[in-house]
Amino acid sequence: MENWQKQAQKILEESLAVKKAFWEKQKGNILRSAEEILRALKAGGKLLIFGNGGSAADAQHMAAEFVNRFRLERLPLPAIALTTDTSILTAIANDYDFSQVFSKQVKALGHPGDVALGISTSGNSENVLQGLATARELGLFTIGLTGGDGGKMPSYADLVITVPSRETPRIQEAHIFYIHLVCELVEEAYFAS
């Protein structure tokens, strides 16, 4: 148990250091992404969010914060996690390929002026990249949320926000920080008047 305390302290310090470095290196991109999401929502557009595994959970978390509420009691904002409909996901994966599970949904739901946010800790998830590529082709503003060196994501997104770490848990912790920060900034700005 004594070792656990030391290990926990080390993990805490690493997590805080990654989040601080993430903010310092990416604050311009983080704030721009919030501005693009706000612009889309104010113009009647929506936010489409997608990822795999923990990133799928992050997509659902972010959509829930926009549709329900974050900190303010307010009207819902349109955000859809493309990770939640198992019938759609399994039909596309079965009839076509798993790499198409997000791109086909983007084709069905996305419109010019919307924002697509693809989340991949490695930046190399093929279905996330294809979802971003389709969104870009359709005229959506595309945001990639990733880690490490960004992987292939910079070729697929208009704006790439990269956590400066190669450790998946630390990247995901910074992604949650990003999600909460953007939700709070957009919510406050949208309902400021």
| Residue ranges of domains in the chain | 2-192
Q: Distance between CA atoms of 123 and 147, rounded to whole angstroms?
A: 7
| Dist. CA 165–CA 146, nearest whole Å | 10
Query: Into which CATH architecture does domain 2-192 fall?
Result: 3-Layer(aba) Sandwich (3.40)
**Distance between CA atoms of 51 and 13, rounded to whole angstroms?**
27
What residues are designated binding site for Zn(2+)? 61, 65, 172, 180
DSSP 8-state symbol, 156: T
- Give per-residue pLDDT as tens, 84-108: 999 999 999 999 999 999 999 999 9
Residues of each annotated binding site: 52-54, 61, 65, 94-95, 120-122, 125, 172, 180
CA dihedral angle for residue 40, residue 44, residue 45, residue 49, rounded to 10 degrees: 90
CB atoms within 10 A of CB 172: 20
Name the residue with tokens 């998946």: 168
Residue 27: is its pLDDT beyond 70? yes
What would the 3-class secondary structure string for 21-89 be? HHHHHHHHHHHHHHHHHHHHHHCCCCEEEEECCHHHHHHHHHHHHHHCCCCCCCCCCCEEECCCCHHHH
Known binding residues for substrate are 52-54, 65, 94-95, 120-122, 125, 172
Across the range 143-170, mean pLDDT stands at 98
Nearest to 178, CA basis, from 61, 92, 95: 61
Q: pLDDT tens across 37-60, in order?
A: 999 999 999 999 999 999 999 999
pLDDT, mean of residues 146-158? 98
pTM score over 0.75: yes
Concatenating the DSSP letter of every residue in 115-132 gives: EEEEE-SSS--HHHHHHH
From 179, 60, 172, select the one nearest 120 (Cα to Cα).
172
